[in-house]
Amino acid sequence: MTQQVLAQASGSEGLAPDDRAVWCEYAWLGTEGIGAAVRIQIDAEGYVSSVLPGVPAQEGDVVLQGVVFPAAANAHSHAFHRALRGRTHDRGGTFWTWRETMYAVAGALTPELYEELATAVYAEMVAAGWTSVAEFHYVHHLPDGTPYGQGTGQPHAMELALARAAVRAGIRLTLLDTCYLAGGFGQPLEDGQRRFSDGTAERWLERLGALRETVAALHPEHLVSVGAALHSVRAVPERDLAVIAHHLPEALPLHVHLSEQPAENADCLEATGLTPTGLLHRHGLVHERLAVVHATHASGEDIDLLGNAGAGVVLCPTTEADLADGLGPAGPLRVAGATLALGTDQHAVIDPWLELRALEHGERLRTGTRGHFDPEILLDIASSGGARAQGRRGAGICPGSVADLMAVDPHTMRTAGSTRDQLVYTATAQDVRAVVVGGVLVARDGVHTALGDPAELLVAAIARLDGVARDRTHRFVSDNPTREHH
């Protein structure tokens, strides 16, 4: 994928970047079912050029044992949320109290710390079978809101740190630069939100344009690209929505958090007379390039608007469960014509197989019936649906698809006895034995070929972030002795 990863992988597997093939003991061939002894030839750009079932491996092939599937595309990530795993789940609380802890972590980030943490998080993703990610990014500036490059650091310091992290980890990155201007309908920004904001839609659009030029000069588009996001309709006033709708480049994918909480719907109705989807529709922002995240509390009319436009809907089932958001209308959204995708959001779990199962199980719990998404549909949601939300070509085992693959062991404690075509209902990331990106091996048995064990990277990065956060808390309390810290 990256030159660094390609070089290390080619050294370990005897491959040259422009002459490679992957041989699979078994491979998922979509409607054709499971094929045996499948040799996948890959061109110099990392796309599948041919698929040959029933042939032996050749010298120099990457050999994958088990059952090989298209890799998953993560359509919604906040990389720094990974530092909250295992720290925000007890003692009740709500989405809104969880958010306060999240702001504390966001306030401690520096470009250097964020690059270290994101590198570890992206390495964890790759080892689990996610080979591309849409990073919903809004930590743009210094904690007081001053832009990087105005006396401190280089311009776009946070964004370029994320790009470098993705390149090091060998994951394809769609950096969704996010507009975040208000603390709620008619509400100013809170202190913890200052670094998220450019002040106005015009200044955000200007910075977005400059970021696109900078990233394009540094990275090829198939590795790192820039898209756009609105944090939510509560964080982007209607006047600014109108400006963005008029001036946002048409080619960009556009993402937005939408109807995650009932309070968001109620506040939007009170302020505008419309649901969040209806408000976006009023400004012409509901279209096929739009991907809404969550849509947990979308109304029937919202579902019709999204489906008729062919919009994407990114569901994050494990996050939505952890935050007690509710069960979203995944089935009705798909029937209406929306394209479903999956994301890991706050990273309480980074596991495509668990997200897939949670999607199906959520529909069973919502409806009281079984069997809503068969394996072919689920795998398509994980790969093609996620790639479309990123504005990328999807992974697959057919000519013209991106050669991003993951091999699953069918003989573990979790998968033993499963038929190969039902591994989607039993496998986890622990059963992923190898991951290939663009035809190059990037992880085997949970270990990244270039970076080593992601667990070690995560331990070190989170420890450093904790140290900075503790220091900031100590300084804050010392400077504000009459304010009690919780």
Residue type, 14: G
pTM: 0.93
Comparison of pLDDT for 2 and 184, the residue scoring more:
184
Mean pLDDT of the chain: 92
User: What pLDDT is stored for residue 4 in this prediction?
Assistant: 45
pLDDT of residue 473: 57
Structural contact between residues 70 and 394, judged by C-beta atoms closer than 8 angstroms: yes
Q: What is the pLDDT of residue 90?
A: 80
Give 143-167 pLDDT, tens digit per residue.
999 999 997 889 999 999 999 999 9
Kindly report the backbone phi and psi dihedral angles of residue 175, in degrees, each rounded to the nearest multiple of 5, phi listed first.
-85, 105
| Residues 113, 465 contacting (CB under 8 angstroms) | yes
pLDDT band at residue 486 under the 50/70/90 scheme: very low
Residues above pLDDT 90, as percent of the chain:
86
pLDDT, one tens digit per residue, over 261-289 is 999 999 999 999 999 999 999 999 999 99
Average pLDDT of span 246-253:
96
Task: Walk me through the domains of the chain, giving residue ranges and CATH numbers.
Answer: 18-70+396-452 (2.30.40.10), 72-394 (3.20.20.140)
CA 485, distance to chain mean position in Å, is 33
Compare 57 and 17 and report the one with higher pLDDT: 57
Q: Could you give the CA distance from residue 244 to residue 381 in angstroms, rounded to a whole number?
A: 29
Is the pLDDT reported for residue 14 higher than 50?
no
Q: What is the arithmetic mean of pLDDT over 189-195?
A: 93
Q: Find tokens 């630069």 and name the residue.
A: 177
Q: Which two tokens stand for residue 204?
A: 């955000």
- What are the catalytic residues? 294, 345
Distance CA 195, CA 190 (A): 10
Q: What is the tens place of the pLDDT at every residue in 284-306?
A: 999 999 999 999 999 999 999 99
For the cut 80, the answer to whether the pLDDT of residue 475 exceeds it is: no
Decide the pairing of beta strands 405-408 and 62-70: antiparallel
- 123-127, 138-142, 322-326, 383-387: range with lowest mean pLDDT: 322-326
Overall average pLDDT of the 46-74 stretch: 97
- Model pLDDT for residues 413-440, shown as the tens digit of each residue: 999 999 999 999 999 999 999 999 999 9
Q: What are phi and psi of 113, to 5 degrees?
A: -65, -40
Question: CA of 381: how far to CAs of 136, 229, 357, in Å?
Answer: 19, 21, 12
- The one-letter code for the residue type at 161 is A
User: Cα(29)–Cα(363) distance, rounded to whole angstroms?
Assistant: 26
Task: State the average pLDDT over residues 235-241.
Answer: 98
CB-CB contact of 159 with 137 (8 Å) = yes
Query: For 116-152, how does the pLDDT look when each residue is reduced to its tens digit (9 = 90+)?
Result: 999 999 999 999 999 999 999 999 999 999 999 997 8
Cα 210 to Cα 202: distance, rounded to the nearest angstrom: 13
CA distances in angstroms from 212 to 99, 219, 342, listed in the order given: 29, 10, 25
Q: What is the mean pLDDT of residues 391-399?
A: 97
Can you give the three-state secondary structure of the chain, one letter per residue? Answer: CCHHHHHHHHHHHCCECCEEEEEEEEEECHHHCEEEEEEEEECCCCEEEEEECCCCCCCCCEEEEEEEEECEEEEEECHHHHHHCCCCCCCCCCHHHHHHHHHHHHHHCCHHHHHHHHHHHHHHHHHHCEEEEEEEECCCCCCCCCCCCCCCCCCCHHHHHHHHHHHHHCCEEEEEEEECCCCECCECCCHHHHHHCCCCHHHHHHHHHHHHHHHHHHCCCCCEEEEEEECCCCCCCHHHHHHHHHHCCCCCCEEEEECCCHHHHHHHHHHHCCCHHHHHHHCCCCCCCEEEEECCCCCHHHHHHHHHHCCEEEECHHHHHHCCCCCCCHHHHHHHCCEEEECCECCCCCCHHHHHHHHHHHHHHHHCCCCCCCHHHHHHHHHHHHHHHHCCCCECCCCCCECCEEEECCCCCCCCCCCHHHHHHCCCHHHEEEEEECCEEEEECCEECCCECHHHHHHHHHHHHHHHHHHHHHHHHHHCCCCCCC
| Helix 157-169 with 111-128: angle, nearest 10 deg | 30
User: Could you read off the pLDDT of 363-380 as tens digits, one per residue?
Assistant: 999 999 999 999 999 999
Dihedrals phi, psi of 174, to nearest 5 degrees:
-105, 105
What is the Cα Rg of the chain in Å?
Answer: 22
How many angstroms separate the first and last alpha carbons of the chain?
A: 44
- For the record, the structure tokens of 42 come out as 């890959």
Percent of the chain, pLDDT > 70? 93
Pairwise CA distance, residues 286 & 305, whole Å: 8
Structure confidence at residue 18 (pLDDT): 55
